Amino acid sequence: MGIPIALQLYSVRDDAAKDLLGVIDAVGKMGYDGVEFAGYHGHSAEDVKAALDAADLKVAGTHVNLSFFTDEKFDETIAFHTTLGCKNLVIPWIPKEKRDTDATTTATAAELTILAGRLRDLGFRTGFHVHGDDMLPLDSGKTAWQILGENTPDDFIMQYDTANGMSAGADPIEPILAFPGRGITEHLKEWSGEHGAAVIGEGDVPWARVFEACESVAGTEWYIVEHESYEGMTPMESVQRCLDNLRKMGK
């Protein structure tokens, strides 16, 4: 069996905001293996889990803002994702002031290391989703991506995003190779001069090399499709086409 493919539901965020449970059903019918969440639009964990089961979808993970790990919200966050059966709680964004120098980024890595240990004890993993400016050099010449990876534990997920990296001029492959075994979930997003300017397989990302890096070095357990541009197609049509193209590539 190959690596399963999930859809990051941010790709169809307007549809999900109107009818998350209906979107889950539609994504299952498209042929995706799972989903990664970017919010639950007021639905209970029980209702979302029932929709996933009915659609025969697994939950590859979720994006959880740092604010949901505060002492006031921590227990609620854990309870929700325990019910959902979601073990990969990836932080989608870190405020710029917490990663704009070597010192601030190292301090943030120390905070994330504590969080990773706290979650590990409860059976969860956390990690970090890269954006373009995380690939720009800081005062030492290292990037925030490098510093966070070098100063967090081996089970801290380094979730690369092919288009986000390329938007900052980063190599689409090297950042995946930089942290062996830590690309547990990887975002597949096409780049063609801008984010999502083409659906997956119809732009500039060297997909064969990406797959080789994920499968030989990164330890990838889930490929996660994210798409952000819909010229001539609806969001749902575009993510179907992304999946169809991946299947044509043997995924």
Residues 6 or more apart whose Cβ sits within 8 Å of residue 153: 113, 116, 117
pLDDT digits (tens, 9 = 90+) for 6-61: 999 999 999 999 999 999 999 999 999 999 999 999 999 999 999 999 999 999 99
pLDDT 10s digits, 97-132: 999 999 999 999 999 999 999 999 999 999 999 999
SS3 content of the chain, % helix, strand, coil (to 5): 45, 15, 40
Query: Which domains, from first to last, does the chain contain?
Result: 36-241 (3.20.20.150)
Q: Helical H runs in the chain? A: 13-30, 45-55, 74-84, 102-120, 144-150, 162-167, 174-177, 207-213, 235-248
Token pair of 125 as six digits: 């993993």
pLDDT value for 195: 74
What pLDDT sits at residue 230? 79
pLDDT for position 6: 98
Query: CA nearest 68: which of 43, 96, 38?
Result: 38
CA dist list (Å): 92 to 54, 68, 129, 218: 28, 12, 5, 19
Instruction: Kindly report the number of other CB atoms within 10 A of residue 72's CB atom.
Output: 9
In this prediction, residue 239 carries a pLDDT of 97
Condensed to tens digits (0 to 9), the pLDDT of residues 172-199 reads 899 999 999 999 999 999 999 877 779 9
Residue 163, pLDDT score? 93
Q: What is the average pLDDT across 62-75? A: 97
pLDDT attached to residue 194: 79
**Closest to 161 measured CA to CA, from 112, 138, 127, 137:** 127
pLDDT of residue 184: 98
The pLDDT of residue 1 is 67
Report d(CA 215, CA 221) in Å as an integer.
9
